[in-house]
Chains A and B, each alone.
Chain A
């Protein structure tokens, strides 16, 4: 066994363990000085990125890979249930992990300049590393209780980071709201895990997916899990915390926090498609499955409309973008809901592909807008739209970045948002044309919202108080520029992304039986 195979074999735990080790070391390293600490964090995250690349290459070429903690075969001899904790990595996990690491590295680079004058920075970087660890753990694990533990880590760390500006009452309030909602949600998840444990005596996802009977207790568990995770993902009836938290956190945090939201969304996907995949496909009567799917579609349309309409009336820059994020999450769920209605049928597959692709695009587009909002806050110390104007004269690069973000988020052609939204429109039009029209109109409204923002922030007469506003420092420009480059590449060559990472992710979601077979060989 050469060293490359060895690294590939051990990469799943190392992807989680390396940032965790870095987080434990950061309080010690930051005693040296600030530059060393920043470089240390960046290098550790780059090592993680490298490991993810290695693992991703392996998974995309050789199929699903498992890792058993503590060693040995997945199943002890003579048993049908894995006893040890297991990581199980398929195309979907790889897809989510790639998104997370991009967000993390860019967020860290952005933080260098943005957070320079703040104090308490060693704890800030420690907690960011813990948040990244928790997201990676949630996205790689194959064990439900392990998923819950990482969910709680992400809940605590995001709450602490939202409250980073403790001198502002609003950020404390947002953090409290967030932690109340997400800790209750996490307790529901734990209760549901208890229900699974009581029935099947297993905590492994593949084992539960294989054994699931879809009895009454399973239905309760499904409702609790979906409610709790959709709450953390910010789907509409439970989206109230999202604008507060996104709006009040430091923008560099919001950027990474979007990744935590998407990790919860991944949890919803894994539960719907894998754990309950067998039940939805074989056991459940057609009528009640259609109810669930139409419920998801209705909720996602409501999310799109509420997000866009609330974004129209906001006056605070970051809250406005947060409502746009609510709408974008609606688009993701729209694709997934249409995909659920017709698993395997032509347009269902396209819709699922579009929904999965839109996860990536949502992270990049909304993230870019938050970074621009942060840059403007850095330069002017102002977030209210009414008090800004004429900034295009002083901040040329930021203006260009904002235009790119604006066009990408509203699904305009040469950018990546168009590629995924087109897939969603195309498939939903075959399901029901009216829904497609609503979705397209909402997207156009979103464009209108951001064009309004563009005029009020960047255009117009130069305000005297912004006369000596300068362009933001280089590290922030590099971070935003990197995202812009990725957006343009994805927009110009969408097939490159779709064929290489989106298609494996979507087919891994649909194909729940090979997920089960990898852990439990010989089960049909």
Chain B
């Protein structure tokens, strides 16, 4: 249980993000919520790849103990690569969302969801 703290942190981060997206009325806060969910998912991926006592999977002047016991002594590299991809995707989405928000503010003069809802259901 206590060793699962990273996973619980993931869940807490996803909750906080979802709370912000579902219940906050400010567009910027919604975007912050999406960013937090994304960090939670990234943390989830990284946590999946951790092997107890592992070092980075890089052989440039790696400690000889780790090389001798490889691959058991190195953390899993695939989740790190996936997280890298996911971070860049997050930056792109964030850039687009923020520029949309700037335009919405220019048009409506407010960031409150309740006031800008011009599209009918």
Interface residues of A (CB under 8 A from B): 145, 149, 152, 155-156, 159-160, 163, 166, 169-170, 172-176, 179-180, 183-184, 187, 190-191, 194, 197-198, 203, 240, 244, 247-248
User: Pick the contact of B118 from A155, A163, A169 — CB < 8 Å?
Assistant: A169
In which size bucket is the chain B interface?
20 to 34
Task: Write out the residue numbers on chain B whose beta carbons fall within 8 Å of the beta carbon of A174.
Answer: 119
Do A176 and B100 touch (CB < 8 A)? Answer: yes
Flag whether B75 is at the interface (Cβ < 8 A): no
* A contact patch SS: helix
Do B86 and A183 touch (CB < 8 A)? Answer: no
User: A156 to B104, alpha carbons, bound, how many Å?
Assistant: 17
Flag whether B12 is at the interface (Cβ < 8 A): no
Centre residue among A145, A184, A203 by max chain B CB count within 10 A: A184
Task: Write out the residue numbers on chain A whose beta carbons fall within 8 Å of the beta carbon of B30.
Answer: 180
Provide 26 A-B residue pairs closer than 8 Å at the C-beta atoms, listed in order of the A residue: A145-B82, A152-B92, A152-B93, A156-B92, A159-B96, A159-B100, A160-B96, A166-B103, A169-B104, A169-B107, A170-B118, A172-B107, A176-B27, A176-B100, A179-B96, A180-B21, A180-B30, A184-B37, A187-B41, A191-B14, A194-B41, A194-B45, A194-B48, A197-B48, A197-B82, A203-B78
B32 to chain A minimum Cβ distance, whole angstroms, is 12
Q: A174-B119, A176-B97, A179-B96 are in contact. Are A197 and B78 (CB under 8 A)?
A: yes
Task: Write out the residue numbers on chain A whose beta carbons fall within 8 Å of the beta carbon of B85.
Answer: 145, 149
5 smallest A-B Cβ distances: which pairs?
A169-B107, A198-B48, A152-B89, A176-B100, A244-B119
* B contact patch SS: helix
User: A184 to B17, alpha carbons, bound, how many Å?
Assistant: 10
* CB closest chain-A residue, reference B49: A197
Flag whether B19 is at the interface (Cβ < 8 A): no
User: A198 to B78, alpha carbons, bound, how many Å?
Assistant: 11
Do A191 and B93 touch (CB < 8 A)? Answer: no
* CB closest chain-A residue, reference B48: A198
Q: A159-B96, A191-B44 are in contact. Are A176 and B37 (CB under 8 A)?
A: no
* CB closest chain-B residue, reference A189: B41
User: A244 to B48, alpha carbons, bound, how many Å?
Assistant: 38
* CB closest chain-B residue, reference A198: B48
User: A285 to B89, alpha carbons, bound, how many Å?
Assistant: 39
Do B34 and A180 touch (CB < 8 A)? Answer: yes
User: A452 to B119, alpha carbons, bound, how many Å?
Assistant: 23
Do A183 and B100 touch (CB < 8 A)? Answer: no
Do A156 and B86 touch (CB < 8 A)? Answer: no
Task: Write out the residue numbers on chain A whose beta carbons fall within 8 Å of the beta carbon of B54.
Answer: none
User: A244 to B121, alpha carbons, bound, how many Å?
Assistant: 9
B1 to chain A minimum Cβ distance, whole angstroms, is 18
User: A332 to B5, alpha carbons, bound, how many Å?
Assistant: 44
Task: Write out the residue numbers on chain A whose beta carbons fall within 8 Å of the beta carbon of B116.
Answer: 169, 173
Do B100 and A175 touch (CB < 8 A)? Answer: yes
Task: Write out the residue numbers on chain B whose beta carbons fall within 8 Å of the beta carbon of A172.
Answer: 100, 103-104, 107
Do A173 and B119 touch (CB < 8 A)? Answer: yes
User: A184 to B78, alpha carbons, bound, how many Å?
Assistant: 23
Do A183 and B45 touch (CB < 8 A)? Answer: no
User: A175 to B117, alpha carbons, bound, how many Å?
Assistant: 13
Question: Binary interface profile of B, 75-107, with partner A (CB < 8 Å = 1, else 0)?
Answer: 000110010011001001100110011011001
